[in-house]
Amino acid sequence: MPSDAAPKDGTGTADHAGPAMVTNDIEAQTRRIGSEIFARLDRHGPVLFTPSWWDDQLMGLGMHDPALKVQLFRFVDTLPYLRTGTDVSRHLREYLGEAKADLPGWIRRTLPWIPDGGPLSGVLAFTARKGAERMARRFIAGSNVPEAVAAVKAMRARRLAFTIDLLGEATVTETEADHVQKQYLDLLAGLTREVNRLPEEPMVDRDDRGPIPRVNVSIKLSALFSQFDPIDPAGTSRSVLRRLRPILRSAKESGAFVNFDMEQYSFKDATLRIFREVLNEPEFRDWPHVGIAIQAYLRDTEQDLRDLRDWVKDERNTPVGVRLVKGAYWDYETVIAAQQGWPVPVWTRKWESDANYERCTDFLLENVEWLVPAFGSHNVRSLAHALASAERLGVPRRRFEIQMLYGMADPIKEAIQSLGYRVRIYTPYGQLLPGMAYLVRRLLENSSNDSFLRASFAEGIPEEELLMNPADIMERIESTNSIAPPKAQGRPSLGFRNEPLADFSQEASRTAMISALAEVRSQLGKTYPLVIANRAVSSPSTIESRNPSRTSELVGRVAAASKEQAVAAIAAASAAFESWRETPVVQRAAFLQRVAQQFRERRCELSAWACLETGKPWREADADIAEAIDFCEYYAAEMLRLANPQHRDVPGEENAYFYEPRGVAVVIAPWNFPLAILTGMATAALVAGNTVVMKPAEQSSVIAAKFMECLQAAGAPPGVVNFLPGDGEEIGPTLVQHPDVALIAFTGSLKVGLLINEQASRTPGGQSHVKRVIAEMGGKNAIIVDADADLDEAVRGVIESAFGYAGQKCSAGSRAVVLEPIYDQFLVRLIEAARSLTVAPADEPGCALGPVIDAEARDRILRMIEKGKSEARLAYAADLGELANQGYFVGPHIFAEVPEASSLAQDEIFGPVLSVLKARDLDDALRIANGTPYALTGGIYSRSPKNLEQVRRRFRVGNLYVNRRCTGALVDRQPFGGFKLSGIGSKAGGPDYLLQFLLPRTITENTMRRGFAPAE
């Protein structure tokens, strides 16, 4: 038993576990050590939960009442943003009111007593703030360096070691990243000055071989670079290291230890890469006082540890520390995986994380020469296993350490310490505002069903159960309280599932994109013909398509159809119509599925074409292809649904209601979703049984030619779909006005959309039908930023919405309508965030903002910016440097104090130009947001349930996004399209879309003959 080996007073100087303790029966030994730890605890006392109102409410009550827990945590998270007493009481009332039906009766009864303003609100606000602050202070050691130093001294007095972590807001701007670096440098200087002159405390200042660093800091790499993005490991590493090296240098010089914290899964490989890269540099290669957190809840962990060990052993030759934790982002990882359709990277049953923790523990202790372990856990079983394993392997007791979080599980810390082990406390410090997010994470963790602390201290589960081998308790846990990962809900259309986007945090996805770009580059400059009735047709003139990022690159030449060829294409489509109409729906649906398969097989290649031809950054290009696949699959499924006639039979009468196609469809597509929109409109028409003439945008004709290749490879019969690139002004009117055309599906500008609508409305002689026009036009979309918005999220969301694909989406958020109390603060961060964006050629993985589509677009946008300068204050304009000569680049522009009636606020610019408008209150914001002739997308960042409700009702747009960016609609999940001047027709990717391509018919048959009718 360890208690026999280690002095009970905790001065433990025994460095080796005695031979008597070494046993092969690791399980028995684990339980013995666990019991010893429990014996030293008081499990009945309030370990986490003090008798205060707040602690009881949030932790105790909330634990047993999930609805209350969520609402109270949300309230705590919002609290620092609330300025007045009235705001505080309003939010409390709203949060509790929202979950009213699920709340305990006594809370429901107190709801009406929450004051609505006046002095009582002030008292409530004061009490709430003080309570939350006190609670936060339980987990956060201080708000500045002197307070952190005082906390550290207090810990040392209890013979506890520390590692300090700086809490901060998300690093959204480069200025903030600089500030984080400075804070770490100040922290290191302040701590070493104070701590190194304190008398030595052998329990924490020495391991089995001698002195170890007294000062220990933990750092999150994403805080050091605002554009931290695993899609670009090299660029991310370069920028992080620029700020990290001075921190490491300072730590090395002052004899401190630096630990790299681990964040979400998508950052893991980048973090490991940077860790290895910098520690291989000559300056740091022989420095042993660095470590990294590794999360055992990930399926990759064992392999990562093996790679880390091999790297230290074979390359670096100086050991590094590994802090083994289970991981703090389990809910986030499972939600993201469910949203994206990606494999879940974490174990999904609690016992699996625990069991993996034990396997990784053994691995670390077996490789202690290279990887010096720190076991970060509050789980007595996990820790007891680590201690037992160390004893079995004869690892000196002081070689490794146990780490726990500040403010949590103090009795366990003391028990472990009393067994003679070094215990280090992870000690966050920082301002209350950013600290709230940390507090909420701790509260969630402590009150989670699967938390060891909750099970042992709040639920009073018996010791034997708590100490069971995770593998043995598998069945019990699964059948009781293990949380299942979330799954998508709702009715998928006939089994439709969105095609997952590429996960560029994975090396395989990045490598595939790099090779596809190289492969496609070797095919640039070719000439593509028209395709009419499946025959390649050349034409006297061609369209030249250039890479907007590098205008010297000719992507390809595409035949430009003449008016006569347009007529020929319509004739081919007319000739093919009858047999295509009679083709069974299942066959037409199967055709779309074959097209989707073509896309899947050529996924990276098509993304590379989109990237090079239309200047789409990697993620946007990939999303375009994924959406094209979705359209094929979704419309195939939808048509199969619609193909079932509706029967309403009565005795003697049969009634069938069903659909049939309209005829020849002309599809006129834009360049900004070069594959997705063209595919969406064309496949909807085709699966409905229409034949198609496709007129792609001039700027994206090469990708359109690739689409035509896919259609042919999928077996498109002659004439069913015809490829007719050309100059819109030249052939557009011919296509739109031709009497044999039944419908026009258009996506593009308002001006052209209205013109098409007008031209199509005329009914020339010989035309025996009225044409149907489906048009998706522009937007001047607004995002409202409420006074209580989470600014980290709002700034990021507005930046992404405004500048994603250089603002060239009809869904782009080109107006930010910001409530007055938060306006100045928001604008400062917004400008810095825009300044931090990487403007680059779209084929570079780190590109956040690429070029605009062509010279004409660039010149038009620049003219609108010039005009804007006379209307509002140009608050930010990016300097492009050399890029301006290389391609069609326009950097991000932000106009502030924009008058709502100005052209900046009213006209669609279709470029990276954002107008920021100030609103007095929510009513004013809604009036401004609704005050354009468009109604496409809109957004709101707010944490007030009541305001969100108002906005849901009164912000009249086709697609409203709450607390997220206003772009990136997914087929089926967010059917897309607007009204007013934003569009004619129903939403693409939605259940009504195909109806527009169909004619409904009813057939009624009188089945009665001479007084009798067939039985039903």
Ligand X SMILES: Cc1cc2nc3c(=O)[nH]c(=O)nc-3n(C[C@H](O)[C@H](O)[C@H](O)COP(=O)(O)OP(=O)(O)OC[C@H]3O[C@@H](n4cnc5c(N)ncnc54)[C@H](O)[C@@H]3O)c2cc1C
Among 74, 326, 780, 943, indicate the residue that binds ligand X (CB under 6 A): 326
- Binding of residue 463 to ligand X (CB under 6 A): no
Nearer to ligand X, 349 or 860 (CB): 349
- Binding of residue 304 to ligand X (CB under 6 A): no
Q: Which helix (H) or strand (E) holds 257?
A: strand 257-260
Q: What is the DSSP string of 455-507?
A: IIIIS---HHHHTS-TTTTHHHHHHTTPPPPP---S--GGG--PPPPP-TTSH
Nearer to ligand X, 81 or 297 (CB): 297
Q: How many residues bind ligand X (CB under 6 A)?
A: 34
- Binding of residue 352 to ligand X (CB under 6 A): yes
Asked if residue 330 lies in contact with residue 486, where contact means CB atoms within 8 angstroms, the answer is: no
Binding characters for ligand X, 115-154, by CB under 6 A (x = yes): ----------------------------------------
Q: What is the DSSP string of 924-949?
A: HHHHHHH-SSEESEEEEE---HHHHH
Minimum separation from the CB atom of position 271 to ligand X (A): 10
- Binding of residue 160 to ligand X (CB under 6 A): no
Residue 810: count of CB within 10 angstroms of its CB: 29
- Binding of residue 347 to ligand X (CB under 6 A): yes
Among 27, 277, 450, 832, indicate the residue that binds ligand X (CB under 6 A): 450
Nearer to ligand X, 82 or 219 (CB): 219
Among 271, 301, 377, 947, indicate the residue that binds ligand X (CB under 6 A): 377
- Binding of residue 71 to ligand X (CB under 6 A): no
Minimum separation from the CB atom of position 160 to ligand X (A): 12
- Binding of residue 378 to ligand X (CB under 6 A): yes
Residues 829-888 that bind ligand X (CB under 6 A): none
- Binding of residue 389 to ligand X (CB under 6 A): no
The Cα 743–Cα 998 span in angstroms is 10
- Binding of residue 379 to ligand X (CB under 6 A): yes
> H helices within 164-267, ranges in order?
174-195, 202-205, 233-254
- Binding of residue 262 to ligand X (CB under 6 A): yes
Among 48, 172, 248, 293, indicate the residue that binds ligand X (CB under 6 A): 293
Binding characters for ligand X, 777-796, by CB under 6 A (x = yes): --------------------
Nearer to ligand X, 327 or 548 (CB): 327
CA-nearest of 27, 938, 948 to 470 is: 27
The shares of helix, strand and coil residues in the chain, as percent rounded to the nearest 5, are 50, 15, 35
- Binding of residue 482 to ligand X (CB under 6 A): yes
Torsion sign (Cα): 783, 785, 789, 791: positive
Minimum separation from the CB atom of position 744 to ligand X (A): 52
Binding characters for ligand X, 398-437, by CB under 6 A (x = yes): -----xxx--------------------x-----------
- Binding of residue 481 to ligand X (CB under 6 A): no
Nearer to ligand X, 482 or 963 (CB): 482
244-251 own/partner pairs: CB under 8 Å, 24+ apart: 244/219, 244/274, 244/278, 245/278, 245/283, 246/181, 246/185, 247/181, 247/184, 247/185, 247/188, 247/219, 248/278, 248/284, 248/287, 248/290, 249/283, 250/185, 250/188, 250/189, 251/188, 251/215, 251/217, 251/289
Length of the chain equals 1016
Instruction: Name 487's Cβ contacts closer than 8 Å, sequence gap at least 6.
Output: 338
User: Which residues sit opposite 873 in a β-bridge?
Assistant: 896
Minimum separation from the CB atom of position 892 to ligand X (A): 33
Among 22, 338, 483, 874, indicate the residue that binds ligand X (CB under 6 A): 483
Q: Which range binds ligand X by CB under 6 A, 37-45, 114-122, 270-278, 373-381?
A: 373-381
Minimum separation from the CB atom of position 962 to ligand X (A): 28
Minimum separation from the CB atom of position 402 to ligand X (A): 9
Residues carrying an active site annotation: 776, 810
User: Which residues sit opposite 693 in a β-bridge?
Assistant: 666, 722
Among 71, 295, 447, 967, indicate the residue that binds ligand X (CB under 6 A): 295
The Cα 345–Cα 617 span in angstroms is 26
Minimum separation from the CB atom of position 367 to ligand X (A): 20
Asked if residue 989 lies in contact with residue 677, where contact means CB atoms within 8 angstroms, the answer is: no
- Binding of residue 37 to ligand X (CB under 6 A): no
Nearer to ligand X, 297 or 659 (CB): 297
Phi-psi region of 663 (alpha: psi -120 to 50; beta: other; left: phi over 0): left
Strand 691-695 and strand 721-723: pairing? Answer: parallel
Nearer to ligand X, 278 or 799 (CB): 278
With tokens 């609690």, the residue in question is 350
- Binding of residue 261 to ligand X (CB under 6 A): yes
The Cα 960–Cα 987 span in angstroms is 13
Give the pair of three-digit tokens for residue 464. 């034997």
Q: Which range binds ligand X by CB under 6 A, 27-35, 443-451, 732-740, 1007-1015?
A: 443-451
List of E strands, 21-139: none
Asked if residue 318 lies in contact with residue 418, where contact means CB atoms within 8 angstroms, the answer is: no
Minimum separation from the CB atom of position 379 to ligand X (A): 3
Q: Which range binds ligand X by CB under 6 A, 347-355, 594-602, 817-825, 876-884?
A: 347-355
Nearer to ligand X, 325 or 384 (CB): 325
Nearer to ligand X, 411 or 991 (CB): 411
With tokens 């089945």, the residue in question is 1007
CA-nearest of 977, 971, 951 to 779 is: 977
Nearer to ligand X, 90 or 350 (CB): 350
- Binding of residue 267 to ligand X (CB under 6 A): no
First to last CA, the chain: 83
Among 86, 339, 348, 431, indicate the residue that binds ligand X (CB under 6 A): 348
* Helix, strand, or coil (residue 704): helix
Minimum separation from the CB atom of position 205 to ligand X (A): 18
Nearer to ligand X, 347 or 429 (CB): 347
The Cα 814–Cα 609 span in angstroms is 27
Residues 485-524 that bind ligand X (CB under 6 A): none
Measured N-to-C along each axis, helices 945-954 and 85-98 cross at an angle, to the nearest 10 degrees, of 70
- Binding of residue 967 to ligand X (CB under 6 A): no
Asked if residue 687 lies in contact with residue 662, where contact means CB atoms within 8 angstroms, the answer is: no
Among 228, 297, 370, 955, indicate the residue that binds ligand X (CB under 6 A): 297
Among 54, 329, 528, 823, indicate the residue that binds ligand X (CB under 6 A): 329
Q: Which range binds ligand X by CB under 6 A, 22-30, 49-57, 377-385, 1006-1014?
A: 377-385
Among 451, 498, 607, 734, indicate the residue that binds ligand X (CB under 6 A): 451
- Binding of residue 349 to ligand X (CB under 6 A): yes
Angle, CA of 425, 431 and 435, to the nearest 5°: 65
Q: Which range binds ligand X by CB under 6 A, 98-106, 117-125, 318-326, 582-590?
A: 318-326
Give the pair of three-digit tokens for residue 737. 């006005």
Q: What is the DSSP string of 646-669?
A: EE--BTTEEEEEEEEE-SEEEEE-
- Binding of residue 382 to ligand X (CB under 6 A): yes
The Cα 759–Cα 738 span in angstroms is 10
Minimum separation from the CB atom of position 148 to ligand X (A): 16
Nearer to ligand X, 351 or 826 (CB): 351
Strand 959-962 and strand 290-295: pairing? Answer: unpaired
Q: Which residues bind ligand X (CB under 6 A)?
A: 261-262, 293, 295, 297, 323, 325-330, 346-350, 352-353, 376-379, 382, 403-405, 426, 445, 450-452, 482-483
